[in-house]
Structure 1
């Protein structure tokens, strides 16, 4: 028998030593991709920072997953999220597959906001959000920031010096590209040179989804392994874009099964985001229930009715001050991709399921914030009656 002294580390072989580029191998060196701070899955940005923070603490949409956004009413707030998603893909050099939309939709994508204006606006917003309890608590993170990963963070390989750590989303010999750009809805995106946009037309054939799968599969096979693809499906099953026979379960659910298979086959290169009008296809129907089961993430947007504009006191609720944007609706998180063993987002900070969330769409941004009602003021008549009892004996 062989013995060795205690407190002496076992020597490692040459094959077991972690390579110097293990961080780049972890996320493949893909543009706009970095590992999740929770599970190290490669994730990419949806184009909206507030939406990235809600996706289970992964600070982005995991590659190989799909996101279904349902919206009730006749508004198109979910379309703004799709535009952010597509614009972020073009800025990162990803291949964007746009289904059922033309060049006009691409020209209307939001442009990148000016860095100078965003820097000027940042201090004023930060001053309002500072905690007023004590000065030593000002630098504490707020709820939802536990899983945040800044661009300056680096992934340190075991056995590697800290100064040799590689950034999580960019090679060392190239300038760092922001993981999530700041977009301005009032501007139009300047399409980068060499941008790859695959326009997929919706056919009137008996199976219109077959053309989408065929075009997507051919492009994935023809592209290199270091290319990330994004599938954009706006207002799926809407009669304004899709034929009426597209709503048949044997066609739509088969398409979702095939899309799920492609997402698993190209787990490190493909993501998908689609919107569904719940006014035409409510969540109580079996078709939508199965669609949610076959999707990795499910969100629901519920805009406020127009009648609520008259009730200013109720609309101004949500913890927003008078100088801030008023919320336009509620956001519900029904399902999130890649949950951890600790639950969604790790129970605690960053947990978004079960909370009341509101979204705000202005001319320049799409923001998701917690929604809470202000303290209810007591009835003045009741207060007067209570004040008259101060000089009387009250029996308990």
Structure 2
């Protein structure tokens, strides 16, 4: 056992042999690069670590600027670059207070109304999300899809004519129509003002709301809740209770009161839309010209919500035979979709087509229809009833003709949901009815014809005739036994 000191060298034969046995004590370092002879330093102390990776050689080439924030030249250039960047979009700030835009209750995306309240709820977002497209297909020779297109355009014109809080009319919506018919805007329906009785009541209420001596005397003598009493006092209280119960269900209507409107299909929008409100793009020109005119129309209205409408897509009376080829119609629809995605914060698209025309036009109709469907974000199919079904509904709703449906509505794709991979296809679950007040969509149920009531009526008629022939006017004894199950 040796009692030598630790600092004393064991073998001093020469430098060559010493290096052969191992490194000296001074050259020994630990894993962190700290020399072993620094015994007085704390354990966690670190020595300067050399920079990792390739070193910048500033001796040749251009000088690399210092990334120190205290450098005044660097801070000046950074502030100049930030000022040149357009961080805030002015168009979005204008659309925040748009009366026709609200967040989706499902995905919180900004949506706009289609002009039909039932169709808004059917899409799952209470409207059509901005930057999305909707295709309305129809089977047969009817023209129900044109009603939805006109409601979509009328809703945009009504939004554009609304006044802001300063009682000033501010343009906020522009409609673009791809059609040869430049008189299409004159066929738009007007808002529903109510029946004749409702109009009279509204006029009377407006007159009573005016301040006058007679109106003040009537208000002081009779409370307002007793004015509508006709038969009993209960009716007035029922109206008040109904209004209280409807507050919870109509929160959206009060918060977004100008989001959607009810239209009267039998009336017309007065005054008719002007060139500042609607733009027509012909469809008998090349695809590049259509896309150029569409881009220019959108750029002319940088702060407005753009509603693009394509009524009767690929109709033979509006489109040339070249558009029935995949090399013509697909670039057109892809170009329109790309323009919408570039302005997805303020553009929506609604188109309509007839599936029978596409299927009977060319041999590759299924391929053409599938390609068109793949471009749109949402698809709704209208299937009107045949004549036999309509006759059955008329028999079932003899006393209620307003309940007669006109066809079925099928959901093939929904915006945002189908894109995420959700199964949103539903067939024969909803029916539509085109009425004067609104285009209504409701759940479909097969009506039951009341045959038993008709048979009972016939039996009563036969029994009354037999009693008349009986001289004693006594009813005959029934020989049949009624079995009740």
TM-score (norm: length of structure 2): 0.56
> For 2:440, what is the secondary structure of its paired residue?
strand
State the partner residue of 1:357.
430
State the partner residue of 2:118.
50
Contact 1:27 1:42 in 2 (8 A): no
The offset of 1:91, in angstroms, is 1.0
Q: Structure 1 residues 279, 149: closer, same or farther in 2, change over 3 A?
A: farther
> For 1:356, what is the secondary structure of its paired residue?
strand
Contact 2:112 2:129 in 1 (8 A): yes
The answer to whether the aligner puts 1:109 opposite 2:176 as a matched pair is no
State the partner residue of 2:88.
none
> Any idea what the Cα deviations from partners look like across 1:34-72, whole Å, max 9, x if unmatched?
11122221110001111111012x101111011001101
State the partner residue of 1:97.
176
The offset of 1:352, in angstroms, is 8.3
State the partner residue of 2:295.
217
> For 2:294, what is the secondary structure of its paired residue?
helix
Contact 2:178 2:282 in 1 (8 A): yes
Once the two structures are superposed, the pairs formed by residues 376-391 of structure 1 within 5 Å of their partners are: none
Q: Distance in 2 between matches of 1:65 and 1:342?
A: 14
Gaps of 5+ in 1: 1-23, 122-134, 154-168, 170-176, 381-386, 391-396
The answer to whether the aligner puts 1:311 opposite 2:392 as a matched pair is yes
2:377 alignment partner, one of 296, 300, 322? 296
1:184 alignment partner, one of 264, 276, 300? 264
The answer to whether the aligner puts 1:150 opposite 2:214 as a matched pair is no
> For 2:400, what is the secondary structure of its paired residue?
coil
The offset of 1:31, in angstroms, is 3.9
Contact 1:358 1:371 in 2 (8 A): yes
The structure in which a higher percent of residues are helix is: 2
Contact 1:202 1:211 in 2 (8 A): no
The answer to whether the aligner puts 1:330 opposite 2:408 as a matched pair is yes
Contact 1:356 1:371 in 2 (8 A): yes
Contact 1:42 1:62 in 2 (8 A): yes
> For 2:404, what is the secondary structure of its paired residue?
coil
Contact 2:434 2:440 in 1 (8 A): yes
> For 1:186, what is the secondary structure of its paired residue?
coil
Q: Structure 1 residues 377, 44: closer, same or farther in 2, change over 3 A?
A: same
> For 2:411, what is the secondary structure of its paired residue?
strand
Q: Distance in 1 between matches of 2:277 and 2:484?
A: 75
**How many residues are aligned here?**
309
The answer to whether the aligner puts 1:65 opposite 2:115 as a matched pair is no
State the partner residue of 1:13.
none
> For 1:238, what is the secondary structure of its paired residue?
coil
> For 1:92, what is the secondary structure of its paired residue?
helix
> For 2:137, what is the secondary structure of its paired residue?
strand
Once the two structures are superposed, the pairs formed by residues 215-254 of structure 1 within 5 Å of their partners are: 215-224=293-302, 226-254=303-331
The offset of 1:140, in angstroms, is 9.8
Q: Structure 1 residues 70, 54: closer, same or farther in 2, change over 3 A?
A: same
> For 2:357, what is the secondary structure of its paired residue?
coil
Contact 2:115 2:154 in 1 (8 A): yes
The offset of 1:26, in angstroms, is 11
Q: Distance in 2 between matches of 1:37 and 1:310?
A: 40
Gaps of 5+ in 2: 1-91, 161-172, 202-240, 454-481
Q: Structure 1 residues 116, 326: closer, same or farther in 2, change over 3 A?
A: closer
> For 1:180, what is the secondary structure of its paired residue?
coil
Contact 2:114 2:128 in 1 (8 A): yes
The offset of 1:80, in angstroms, is 0.2
The offset of 1:355, in angstroms, is 5.9
Contact 2:409 2:428 in 1 (8 A): no
Q: Structure 1 residues 342, 239: closer, same or farther in 2, change over 3 A?
A: closer
Q: Distance in 2 between matches of 1:271 and 1:66?
A: 6
Which of structures 1 and 2 has the larger relative contact order (alpha carbons within 8 angstroms, sep 6+)?
1
Q: Distance in 2 between matches of 1:60 and 1:256?
A: 22
TM-score (norm: length of structure 1): 0.68
C-alpha RMSD over aligned residues: 3.7
Once the two structures are superposed, the pairs formed by residues 106-185 of structure 1 within 5 Å of their partners are: 106-114=185-193, 150-153=252-255, 178-185=258-265
State the partner residue of 1:276.
353
Greater gyration radius: 2
Q: Distance in 2 between matches of 1:89 and 1:388?
A: 63
> For 1:279, what is the secondary structure of its paired residue?
helix
> For 2:316, what is the secondary structure of its paired residue?
coil
State the partner residue of 1:19.
none
